[in-house]
């Protein structure tokens, strides 16, 4: 059985998703948002309660863009399971009020590589110049591409790629996001680590137009994150809160698709240790899933109140 007491390989999670369709045929379907360089499906879950009201908006949750950040996919699947099984009225309500798209593995080739060969791999697996492999998929989106905080060196961990949307994962996911029928209410990107909640932009310190609203939502989300286990998050706009970084999915969705609420979580742990930061013990998957669910519930409530 699929549990949240250990990290899973890609195939396990893809099988789990297919099994959910069989278990909840009226509510769950899978979607394929394209294919990776090595031909793997970008497989996600669509959760849509037919008995919800008509004209629902969507919320898209993306994780696993960076291969070694294993807590992202684990939290995405934890949250999907909550949407499907929780008895809490708030979560039942959330599940019914939106059309949910949950993509646990935006970079499946990289994830497989972290299991088989190099636990610390970050990028995609497409061959680039100078005998180096991979592009940083979170620098490859076509919005102020490569302007700052992105490298033109194919061997760099933040290589932006030879051009915007050079990576099949990123190009096809962008196409898929553009093609969705329901208006998108919110876009969420799960990364790790540092315990930060981030909003646009990465390419400039100029705050986005609705930054007052984003800050209000930020405060609600960070407050809820702390409630259960005292977990402290900081953050703000990417450029000031961490570092300049152009070409992320969050900024593209905000800037090009005009989705007003676009956020990125840098999940547990806190601190700076590169060696331990990506190796969050599996015993912390459930607590991370619980507090992040708390945070998402309050975040979406706060955003819905603004409307
Ligand atoms: O550098 C990144 O891409 C992200 N940090 S990480 O340690 N996970 O690599 C942060 C970038 C800002 N986040 C988004 N714009 N989504
Ligand atoms: Zn990341």
pLDDT of residue 50: 86
Catalytic residue among 266, 291, 298, 307: 266
Dihedral pair phi/psi, residue 234, rounded to 5°: -125, -165
Transcribe 250-302 into DSSP letters: HHHHHHTS--SEEEEEEES--S--HHHHT---GGGHHHHHHHHHHHHHHHHHH
pTM above 0.90, yes or no: yes
Residues of the chain with pLDDT under 70: 52
Q: 103 alpha carbon to ligand 1 midpoint, in Å?
A: 17
Can you give the pLDDT at residue 307?
Answer: 74
The predicted structure's pLDDT at residue 54: 79
pLDDT on residue 52:
60
Decide: 64 and 106 in contact? Cβ < 8 Å.
yes
How do beta strands 99-103 and 28-35 pair? unpaired
**Ligand 2 centroid vs 229 CA: distance in angstroms?**
23
Helix axes 285-306, 211-227, angle to 10 degrees: 140
Burial of 230: CB neighbours in 10 Å, binned 0-12, 13-18, 19+: exposed
Domain 10-306 class, CATH top level: alpha beta
Give the pLDDT score at 272. 85
**CA-to-CA distance for 99 and 281, rounded, in angstroms?**
32
Give residue limits of the domains in the chain: 10-306
Q: In this predicted complex, what is the ipTM?
A: 0.91
pLDDT at site 161? 98
Q: Which residue matches tokens 């152009």?
A: 246
Of 75, 140, 159, 242, the one to substitute when testing ligand 1's pocket (max ligand atoms within 8 A of C-beta) is 242
């Amino acid at each position: 059985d699929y549990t949240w007491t250990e990290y899973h390989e890609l195939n396990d999670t893809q099988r789990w998703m297919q099994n959910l369709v069989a278990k909840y045929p009226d509510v769950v379907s899978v979607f394929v948002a394209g294919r990776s360089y090595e031909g793997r499906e970008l497989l996600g879950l669509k959760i849509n309660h037919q008995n919800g009201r008509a004209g629902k908006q969507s919320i898209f949750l993306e994780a696993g863009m960076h291969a070694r950040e294993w807590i992202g996919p684990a939290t995405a699947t934890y949250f999907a399971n909550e949407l499907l099984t929780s008895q809490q009225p708030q979560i039942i309500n959330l599940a019914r009020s939106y059309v949910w798209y949950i993509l646990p593995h935006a970079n499946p080739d990289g994830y497989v590589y972290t299991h088989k060969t190099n636990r610390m791999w970050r990028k995609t697996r497409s061959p680039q110049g100078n005998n180096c492999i991979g592009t940083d998929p979170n620098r490859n989106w076509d919005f102020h591409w490569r302007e700052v905080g992105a490298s033109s060196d194919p061997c760099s961990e933040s290589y932006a790629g030879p051009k915007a949307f050079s990576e099949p994962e990123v190009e096809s996911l962008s196409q898929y996001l553009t093609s969705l029928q329901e208006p998108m209410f919110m876009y969420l990107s799960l990364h790790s680590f540092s315990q930060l909640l981030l909003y646009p932009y990465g390419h400039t310190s100029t705050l986005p137009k609705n930054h007052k609203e984003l800050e209000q939502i930020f405060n609600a989300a960070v407050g809820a994150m702390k409630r259960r286990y005292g977990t402290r998050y900081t953050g703000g706009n990417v450029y000031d809160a961490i570092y300049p970084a152009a070409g992320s999915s969050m900024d593209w969705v905000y800037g090009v698709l005009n989705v007003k609420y676009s956020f990125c979580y840098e999940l547990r742990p806190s601190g700076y240790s590169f060696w331990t930061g990506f190796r969050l013990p599996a015993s912390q998957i459930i607590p991370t899933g619980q507090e992040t669910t708390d945070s998402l519930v309050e975040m979406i409530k706060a955003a819905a109140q603004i409307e």
